[in-house]
């Protein structure tokens, strides 16, 4: 029986990341979101109240709801990427809370790589700082479609409209150089709760949405590439049961486009063509599947397909090459060297690669090429040319975040040493 696909794709899940300079109030903001949407259990709230009292805080410190590690609390900073989950009647959310320090740039890249939206906090007293520019650039580099600048701590500048408008103008001017198409500005006080979940009574000059309303209502279904058909094969399914004796399905996650039963498709790297015979999502037969659904499909022809291959549209092929140019964020303490050899993961394909050339390193503060030595050290971002042992099938990252991204792995230690965006 054919069934509609809409029930099997949870388009009501919003992944967002928070970023900002140290002490801009990221953890307090997330605590406020969780508290005001009633996501906190009584015992959690009691623990936070006790911890706040020990610190001598005059009021409950909501940042303690997210800074779960004792070491983090003692230092007063968030070190790693902390993921938090919550839901409202309208939508489910995954928050990646990333640290503000310059030496944790790699943590922001990790937390923001799958985000639909980035919240960048700006202290109303201090305005745009170097970290504001850095985090904005990384959000742009990672292709995050929606960026919300929250001008926080408005209570410490007496909720002054002129201060908000000045910072907004500066951010507008700076962000015009970024490749982000949807940018919003909201004046908030995470500590007091103004314009976070409930509208501020003392900032009646602001007529825009609250942060929570924006998170619940922002349209993300159109952020996926529904034009270029891309299906990296993750697994070949052969049940070999009496009921499904001849079943040979190809399972994976749709990375782009829409696949329908009866469509002609092209298989890479073999180049063979066939027609989609059936599509399954879970236990259900469906007529179509689209990004970012996970599905399995069968073809009318017996073609040798294995993990790492890609099923694509016949008239719209990805680029295929062993030379790949990437913007690379370096994660490892040992610097990246030209001539270095690494394992590479691109979608479901595993290969090995060599660094042909480190073309330049970015100065993230100025958004320009850095002068001098192009060697990439930990947390640096630069443009690099890789040579792979087998051809990769890819799109530019700005066109498709799934087929345009890759990671490098140190084969000796099995550590992920870099994340790359194909340019």
Residue 422 pairs with which residues in a beta bridge?
326
More confident residue, 83 or 290: 290
Whether 70 has a pLDDT exceeding 60, the answer reads no
- Give the chain's largest Cα–Cα span: 73
- Average the pLDDT over 398-420 and give the result: 93
The predicted model scores a pTM of 0.81
Quote the tokens at residue 115.
């985000």
146-179 burial by CB neighbour count: b if 16+ within 10 A, else e? bbbbbbbbbbebebeeebbeebbeebeebbeebe
- Domains belonging to the chain, first-starting first, are 2-223 (3.40.50.300), 230-313 (2.40.30.10), 319-422 (2.40.30.10)
CA distance 166 to 126: 12
Percent of the chain surpassing pLDDT 90? 58
Can you give the pLDDT at residue 81?
Answer: 66
160 SS3 class: coil
- The secondary structure element, H or E, covering residue 369 is strand 368-369
Q: How many CB atoms lie within 10 A of CB 323?
A: 11
Can you give the pLDDT at residue 68?
Answer: 47
């Amino acid at each position: 029986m054919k069934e509609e696909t809409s029930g099997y794709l949870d388009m009501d899940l919003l992944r967002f990341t928070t970023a900002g300079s140290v002490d801009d109030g990221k953890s307090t903001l997330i605590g406020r979101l969780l508290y005001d949407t009633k996501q906190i259990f009584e015992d959690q709230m009691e623990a936070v109240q006790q911890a706040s009292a020990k610190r001598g805080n005059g009021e409950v410190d909501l940042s303690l709801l997210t800074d779960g590690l004792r070491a983090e609390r003692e230092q007063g900073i968030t070190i790693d990427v902390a993921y938090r989950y919550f839901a409202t009647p309208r939508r489910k959310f995954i928050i990646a809370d990333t640290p503000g320090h310059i030496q944790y740039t790699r943590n922001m890249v990790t937390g923001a790589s799958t985000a639909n939206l980035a919240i960048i906090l700006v202290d109303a007293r201090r305005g745009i700082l170097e970290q504001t520019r850095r985090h904005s650039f990384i959000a742009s580099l990672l292709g995050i479609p929606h960026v919300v600048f929250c001008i926080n701590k408005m209570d410490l500048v007496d909720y002054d409209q002129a201060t908000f408008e000045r910072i907004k103008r500066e951010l507008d001017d700076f962000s015009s150089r970024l490749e982000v198409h949807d940018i919003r500005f909201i004046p908030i006080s995470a500590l007091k709760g103004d314009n976070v979940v409930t509208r501020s009574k003392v900032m009646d000059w602001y007529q825009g949405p609250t942060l929570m309303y924006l998170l619940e209502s922002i349209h993300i279904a159109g952020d996926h590439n529904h034009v270029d058909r891309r299906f990296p094969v993750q697994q070949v399914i052969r049940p070999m049961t009496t009921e499904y004796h001849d079943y040979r399905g190809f399972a994976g996650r749709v990375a782009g486009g829409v696949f329908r039963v009866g469509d002609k498709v092209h298989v890479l790297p073999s180049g063979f063509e066939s027609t989609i015979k059936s599509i399954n999502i879970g236990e259900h037969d469906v007529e179509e599947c689209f990004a970012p659904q996970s599905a399995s499909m069968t073809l009318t022809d017996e073609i040798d397909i294995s993990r790492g291959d890609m099923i694509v549209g016949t008239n719209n092929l990805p680029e295929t090459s062993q030379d790949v140019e990437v913007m690379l964020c370096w994660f490892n303490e040992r610097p990246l060297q030209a001539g270095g050899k690494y394992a590479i993961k691109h979608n479901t394909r595993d290969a090995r690669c060599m660094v042909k050339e480190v073309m330049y390193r970015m100065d993230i503060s100025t958004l320009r090429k850095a002068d001098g030595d192009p060697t990439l050290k930990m947390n640096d971002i630069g443009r690099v040319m890789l040579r792979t042992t087998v051809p990769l099938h890819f799109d530019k990252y700005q066109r498709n975040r799934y087929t345009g991204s890759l990671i490098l792995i140190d084969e000796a230690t099995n550590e992920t040493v870099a994340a790359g965006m194909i340019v």
